[in-house]
Structure 1
Amino acid sequence: MKMETAQVTNPQGLHARSAATIVKLATLFESSIELKNGAKVANAKNIMALLLLEASKGTQLTVCTDGNDEAQALAQMIRLIEDNFGETSTPSP
């Protein structure tokens, strides 16, 4: 099992579109992947569980991976979180 923490940098936090992006990435891996926000734990392959984490901008998410490709899964998941979930932020009007 591998574990690392990343800060949510997306101005909208973890929302439906970013949760879908996490699920899409997580399903590429054989390993189990969990995201934790304090006592809340979510399977990264379950969009509803991810939304229940209620992770706003600045939240520290702990990513836990376990399986044959755990190191690669962890690295890519951390990169995604730290990169605004692959979204470009645009200033509000």
Structure 2
Amino acid sequence: MVAKEVTILCKTGLESKMAAKLIQKASEYESNIWIQKDERKANAKSLLGLLSLGISPGDTITIITDGRDEETALNELEAFAKNGMTD
């Protein structure tokens, strides 16, 4: 299991459209992926879970990956978040 903190840079935060993009990206990996904000954690492949975190622009989240491709998933999801959730 590996984890890394990332600041959300997209100007809308993690509302439904950005959450859907994150889910699409996270679903490319075999690993289990969670997003944590403060004390709450949600499956990165679940729209309802991500929306329940209430992630706003500028918030710092922790991406947690666990599985065979955890390092690749973590590095690529970090880059994805740093690019404003665009490829």
Q: TM-score, normalised by structure 1?
A: 0.89
The residue number in structure 1 matching 2:82 is: 82
The residue number in structure 1 matching 2:6 is: 6
Please list every run of 5 or more consecutive structure 1 residues that lacks an aligned counterpart in the other structure: 88-93
The residue number in structure 1 matching 2:43 is: 43
The 1-side partners of 2:50 and 2:83 are apart by 17
Q: Work out whether 1:70 is the aligned partner of 2:43.
A: no
Q: How many pairs were matched up?
A: 87
> Pairwise CA RMSD of aligned residues?
1.1
The residue number in structure 1 matching 2:17 is: 17
1:39-93, Cα deviation, whole Å (9 max, x unpaired):
1111001011001111101100100000000001001111111111118xxxxxx
Following TM superposition, by how much is the alpha carbon of 1:4 offset from its aligned partner in structure 2, in angstroms? 0.3
The 2-side partners of 1:26 and 1:10 are apart by 17
Map 1:43-62 to 2 at 5 A.
43-62=43-62
The one-letter code of the counterpart of 1:73 is A
Please identify the structure whose Cα radius of gyration is greater: 1
Please list every run of 5 or more consecutive structure 2 residues that lacks an aligned counterpart in the other structure: none
The residue number in structure 2 matching 1:29 is: 29
Structure 1 segments, 4+ long, off by >4 Å, are none
SS at match of 2:30: coil
SS at match of 2:62: strand
